[in-house]
Structure 1
C-alpha cells in the first residue's frame, strides 16, 4: 500500500509530504483546488509520459517520490527478475523531471526504464478516473474482467501459444501455395536458370584462386627476375651470402679453444646458415616452378569472365551468391515437382494446429461461461443496494472466429428495470448507473487481483443520498482486505465514511498560488463535511448533520 507521497516543484505544488494509511481514505476539496494535480503526479510515478511544463515555473527540477509497504503482497519475484533490491516494508519509487525535458525514473534508487516503472506501477496502484467508465464500451475490457474471475491465465497462455503456432503454419502454407502457383507459371524459365548455373559447375572459393593465379601469371617476368636476384645473392659462387656465412662460422669455430666466447657466436651463425641454405633451396624451387603459359592464362581469364557474367546477370558479386541462387532454384523446382505432396503435408499440419486451437478455445469458453454466471450473480448482489432493485445484468458470450484471446465475443448486457430489454451496458446505462456498474466491477475484480492500492477519482458522479452512502460502504469493504482504497469525492456521504480524511486546497503565498494537502482531525472533518453539505456559509444545522453522518 501507499504509505507516503512526496512531491516537490510539480505545477502548483511547491512541497507536499503526506503519509497515507490502510483501509478506506477520502480526499476532498473545492473544484480547482489541485486534486487532479496530485493524481497527475501519481500518474507519473506509474509510468505515464512527462511534460516539462509540469515543472513548477521558476524551478529547475521536480521530484515525485512514493513509499510503498509491500510486505503482504508477495511481489519479490518482480524485483528478483529485474535485479533490483527488494525492501518489502519500504519500496521507493521516484520520478525526476527537469525544466529542460529530461526525465529519470528509479525503483529503490536503481535507475530504470519507464517501461519497467509502468510494469511495476500496474501491480501497485489502480487509478479509476471518470474516463475509465468508457472502458465499458470496449469488448477487450469486458473479456478481461471475465478472464480475471475465471482465473484462466494459464489456459489463455496455452491457447495463445497454440494460436501463434497455427498462425505461423498458416502463413507458411500461404507462402508455399503462392510459390508453387508462381513457380508453375515460370517453370521453364526457372529450369533454364538452374541448368545454366549447374552447367557452370560452380565451386565455392574458385574465383579467388583463379584471380590469384591470373595475377601471378600476368607478372611472371617480374616474379622470375626477383627470385633470380634473390637466389644469386644467396648462393653466387664463393661471394654469396650462404657461402660467406659458412666461412664466418668456420672462422669462429677455429678460435673456440682459445676464445670460448666464440662458441656461442659460431652456433648462432650455424643456425642462420642452416636457415638461409633452406631459404636458398626454396627460392630455387620457386624459380623453376614459375613459368608463363599463354594458353593457361587465357583459360583462366575465360573462366573468370564466365563467372563475372553470371554474377552480373544474377545481381550478386560472389560465387557463393550464385550457389545460393542455384540452391533456391532447385528448391523451387522441387516444390513444383513435388508440390502436391508438400502442400498436402503442410495442409495437414495446419489442420492439426487449428484443431488444437479450437480445443483450447473450447476450454477457455467453458471457463468463461462458468465465470460469467458468477459475475452475473455478484453484480446483481452489488447493484441492488446501490439503488437498482430491478436491475438485470447478464453476460453474452458468442462464438466468433478464433483470435489472439480465444473465440469468444463477450458483451455486458444491462437493464435497470424489468420493462426495458437487455442491451449493451454502454448504450443504455446513464452516467450514474455506469459509475455504479464500474464500482461494482472494481469491487469484484479487487477480490481476485491483489492490488495494494485503488484510487477512485470522483466515481460518485451522478449519484447522491443513500446511493452514495452505499457506494461508500462498498469502497470501505474493499479497504478491509489488506487493501488501501482512496476516493476523491465531492459527496459528504462518501467523505464521512472514510477512516482517514485529507483535504486539498489552494493557498496564496508571496511566491504565488500553491496547492496544499492536509490530513484533517476530527474537528476539521466535521467542518469540512458541513461545508460540503451547506456551502461556504456553514450553519449549525449543517454541523449537526455532519456529526450525524460521521457517527454512521
Structure 2
C-alpha cells in the first residue's frame, strides 16, 4: 500500500499528482519514443519559444474556435427550409402541450400531493384533533386532562415554595409546562375547527395531479425537468423563428474569420522560425560535449492545413556523424544518440525552468558507455547547479559523479500464512454478477513469496566504492575497487573545477538499481 507525504504530512494521491506536475519533471526511456512524434516536436518547440509563442498559440486557438463557430452558424443557416419548418412544427406542438399545463413551480406536484392527503382524511383529522384537545385540556369522560393534573401540581408546589424557596425553579417549570399545554390545546382545537370537507377542491386537486404526472412522464421525469425542457424549447423556437442573420452576412463572417486564422497562424509561424533557429544553435552546443562534435541539427517547419495549434508541421532533422545527410530524428538516431539528444534537449529547457525543479532521469544513459557516459555525467552535474537531479543508472561513471548515492534492491521475501489472513480480503465478481470476498491461501500451506523494493543511502565512502566497483564488473575484486576509487577521485576533482555557479537547490543523486 502506497503512502504519500509532503513535508512529513500525509496527503492523498490527487494532491501529490498536482504537486508533481509543478515541481517534478520525469524523463524516462519511453520519452525517446514520444520525441520522434511530429506533434510532440511542435509542442517542444513552442515550449522552448516561451511566453511569446505560447500566447500567440492561444490566440490562434481562439481565432480557430471562432472560425469553427462561424462555420457552424453558416451550415445551420444553410439547412433546408423544409427541415427547419418540420422542426418548428414539432417545437410548437410540444410548447403548446406544456403551455396548456400552466406549469408554475417545480414543487407544485409535491405540494398538491400533501394537500390531497389532508383533504382525503379531513374527518379522521377532526376526530383525532378533538381527542388530542381532550387529553390536553378538557376531558368529557371524567378523567383529568393534562392541564388539570399540571394545575394541581402547580397549586401544590405554590404551597411548598412558601416553606422552601429552593423549589421556585421547579414551580416555574411546571407553570411554563401548563402554559404550553394550554397553548397547544388552543391551537389543536383551532386546527380541528378549521377543517372542512371540500369534495370540489379534492376533485380539482386530483385532476391537477393527474395532469402534472402525465407531463412528468412525457417531458420529465420530474416537474423541474419538464419546466427546464419547456424553457429550452421556447429558446430554440425563438432562434429558429427569428429571421436571424442573412446567409450573405454569415458567409462574410466566415470568410473574415478564416482570414483572421490565417493571419494569426502566420504570426505563430514567424515566432516558431525564430525559436527554431535559436534551438538549433543551443542544442548543437549542448550535444558537442556529449561526444557528438560533428553533429548537425535543424528544425524543419512545413505548412499544413490550419488547426487550433497553428498551420505548421515541425520536424527535427538530425545528423550525428560527418558525411551523413540530415534526416528526420526518427530515421537516423540510434538508442544512445537518442538518449544524448534527449538530455541535451532537457539542458536547453533547464534555463527556462524555475530553479529548484526536481529533474528525474530514468536510464538516460541507455545505449552509451565509456567516454560518452562520462560526458553525460558531467552534463547531469551541470544541470544540478540549478535543479535537484535524480538519476537511475547502471553506469559507474555517472554514479561516481553524484553528490549522494542510493542503492535500490529488489528482494524476494517469504510472507507467513498468518499475515496473509490478516490482510483485507479482495472482492471478486462471479459469473452471475454477485460479489464474493475471497482470501487466497496457498494450497501447500507454505509461506507465500513476494517481491519488495528497498532503497539504501550509501553514506559511507567504502560502501559507495564497493557499489561502484560492482557496477563496473568484469575485473578482479581489487582491480574493480581501484577503478571505483579512481572514478570517485576524478569526479570529485571535476566537481571542484566546475565553473557554473552552484545554487542551493541543486543536488545530483544517482540511484543504482540492482
Relative to the length of structure 2, the TM-score reads: 0.57
Partner of 1:535: 475
Of 363, 366, 390, the residue aligned with 1:457 is 363
CA contact (8 A) 2:59 2:264 kept: no
1:157–1:224 CA distance, 2 compared to 1 (3 A): same
Deviates more, 1:165-174 or 1:333-342: 165-174
Partner of 1:192: 93
Give the C-alpha shift of residue 308 in structure 1: 4.1
Residues in 2 aligned to 1:210 and 1:121: alpha-carbon distance in whole angstroms: 55
1:505–1:345 CA distance, 2 compared to 1 (3 A): closer
Of 121, 131, 156, the residue aligned with 2:54 is 156
CA contact (8 A) 1:159 1:357 kept: no
CA contact (8 A) 1:390 1:418 kept: yes
Give the C-alpha shift of residue 173 in structure 1: 8.2
Give the C-alpha shift of residue 384 in structure 1: 4.3
1:395 equivalenced with 2:335 (yes/no): no
Partner of 1:375: 279
Give the C-alpha shift of residue 343 in structure 1: 9.6
CA contact (8 A) 1:211 1:304 kept: yes
CA contact (8 A) 1:177 1:343 kept: no
1:133–1:206 CA distance, 2 compared to 1 (3 A): closer
Partner secondary structure for residue 134 of structure 1 = helix
Partner of 2:319: 415
For residues 130-529 of structure 1, what are the structure 2 equivalents within 5 Å? Answer: 130-152=29-51, 156=54, 159-160=57-58, 163=61, 167=65, 184-204=85-105, 286=194, 290=196, 301-316=206-221, 318=223, 320-338=224-242, 340-341=244-245, 362-384=266-288, 386-400=290-304, 405-417=309-321, 419-449=323-353, 450=355, 451=357, 455=361, 457=363, 459=365, 461-465=367-371, 467=372, 470-479=375-384, 488=393, 490=395, 498=401, 517=458, 520=461, 528=469
CA contact (8 A) 1:127 1:457 kept: no
Partner secondary structure for residue 448 of structure 1 = coil
Give the C-alpha shift of residue 168 in structure 1: 9.4
CA contact (8 A) 1:227 1:286 kept: no
Give the C-alpha shift of residue 537 in structure 1: 7.3
Give the C-alpha shift of residue 462 in structure 1: 3.8
Residues in 1 aligned to 2:344 and 2:184: alpha-carbon distance in whole angstroms: 97
CA contact (8 A) 2:63 2:261 kept: no
CA contact (8 A) 2:64 2:307 kept: no
Give the C-alpha shift of residue 151 in structure 1: 2.0
Residues in 1 aligned to 2:184 and 2:15: alpha-carbon distance in whole angstroms: 69
Give the C-alpha shift of residue 524 in structure 1: 5.8
CA contact (8 A) 1:146 1:368 kept: yes
Partner secondary structure for residue 54 of structure 2 = helix
1:159–1:473 CA distance, 2 compared to 1 (3 A): closer
Residues in 2 aligned to 1:336 and 1:499: alpha-carbon distance in whole angstroms: 70
Residues in 2 aligned to 1:189 and 1:109: alpha-carbon distance in whole angstroms: 63
Give the C-alpha shift of residue 481 in structure 1: 5.4
1:106–1:405 CA distance, 2 compared to 1 (3 A): farther
Give the C-alpha shift of residue 111 in structure 1: 0.8
CA contact (8 A) 2:299 2:314 kept: yes
Q: Give the structure, 1 or 2, with the largest relative contact order (CA under 8 Å, sep 6 or more).
A: 1
CA contact (8 A) 1:382 1:440 kept: yes
1:315–1:332 CA distance, 2 compared to 1 (3 A): same
Deviates more, 1:355-364 or 1:422-431: 355-364
Partner of 1:258: none
Q: How many residues of Structure 1 are paired with residues of Structure 2 in the alignment?
A: 414
CA contact (8 A) 1:376 1:394 kept: yes
1:139–1:518 CA distance, 2 compared to 1 (3 A): farther
Residues in 1 aligned to 2:189 and 2:387: alpha-carbon distance in whole angstroms: 92
Partner secondary structure for residue 274 of structure 2 = helix
- 1:34-61 deviations in whole A, cap 9, x for unaligned? xxxxxxxxxxxxxxxxxxxxxxxxxxxx
Partner of 2:3: 104
1:417–1:482 CA distance, 2 compared to 1 (3 A): closer
1:156–1:281 CA distance, 2 compared to 1 (3 A): same
Partner secondary structure for residue 3 of structure 2 = strand
Relative to the length of structure 1, the TM-score reads: 0.54
Residues in 2 aligned to 1:455 and 1:419: alpha-carbon distance in whole angstroms: 32
**Unmatched tracts of structure 2, length 5 or more:** 156-170, 415-452, 495-514
Give the C-alpha shift of residue 215 in structure 1: 5.7
RMSD, matched Cα: 6.1
Residues in 2 aligned to 1:302 and 1:499: alpha-carbon distance in whole angstroms: 84
1:223–1:151 CA distance, 2 compared to 1 (3 A): closer
CA contact (8 A) 1:127 1:454 kept: yes
Deviates more, 1:375-384 or 1:403-412: 403-412
1:421–1:333 CA distance, 2 compared to 1 (3 A): same
